[in-house]
Structures are given as C-alpha cells and as structure tokens.
Amino acid sequence: MKAKIIAIAVLLTTIVSLEGGAVFVGTIASVVNGGTEAVLIVEPSRYDNTGMILKPYSAVYVYANFGGAVDGDKFKFLGESIGRVQYKTAMGALATVYGFRGTVIPIAVGQTNY
C-alpha cells in the first residue's frame, strides 16, 4: 500500500511542475547577483514549452538558484515566464529580454539525455 501512495505522489509532483510552465535548455552567458539570477542563451533542443517559441541562441533572463555555476555551464529550466525584463549588460547598456522564474537542473558536460 505504501509503494502505491508514494508512486502516485511522485507522478503528481512531476505533472504539476511541467504542465503549463516553461521548459528549455540554455547555457549561461552571465551569472548575476551571487548566483540567484543569470542570463542564459537558449539552445536548440527538443523542448519548446515556453508558450512563446524562443528562438535558438536568443538571450533570456532567469531567476533561479545558480549557486556555484560559471559562464558556459548548461542547464535545463523548469518554471514560468514573467514577461519582458530589463537588465544591464556587461557593457553598461540596458537590454530587454524575456524573463523566467523557476528551477534549473545542471546538465553535465557530455550529457545527452536531458
């Protein structure tokens, strides 16, 4: 009986976190605010669950826990779009891009099953 309850709980958790949210893969271009935010470059992938069709290689601003991440690290993002946001680039200019808030899952170098 316990095994069935646990299996159902895991299934429901998975459905809730993916349904209706944004899912994409991106590589860090810049980590911001001590790892709580980052600019990601969207990678061409099998995921396009953003509701807005992100173009490959476009920049997006993500609010998530990037603790310990560095430029070039790859992540799978799960979360929600928060519309357009502005951020200051390394050159000091303001850029307006799509913003997202959620969770990131690190993708190891050479990993292909994400």
pLDDT, position 22: 84
Residue 12 falls inside a structural domain: no
pLDDT, position 44: 82
pLDDT, position 105: 94
pLDDT, position 100: 94
Residue 9 falls inside a structural domain: no
Residue 5 falls inside a structural domain: no
Give pLDDT tens digits along the chain (114 positions).
Answer: 444 443 333 333 333 333 447 889 999 999 999 899 999 999 887 666 666 778 889 999 999 999 999 999 999 999 999 999 999 988 899 999 999 999 999 999 988 887
Residue 4 falls inside a structural domain: no
| Domains identified in the chain, total number | 1
Q: Say how many C-beta atoms besides its own lie within 10 A of residue 84's C-beta.
A: 10
Cα distances from 51 to residues 24, 29, 61, 71, 106, in angstroms, run 11, 23, 16, 27, 23
Show the domain range for 50: 21-107
pLDDT, position 50: 64
Residue 80 falls inside a structural domain: yes
Residue 2 falls inside a structural domain: no
CATH number for the domain including 36?
A: 2.40.50
- The pTM (predicted TM-score) of the whole model is 0.77
Residue 38 falls inside a structural domain: yes
Residue 6 falls inside a structural domain: no
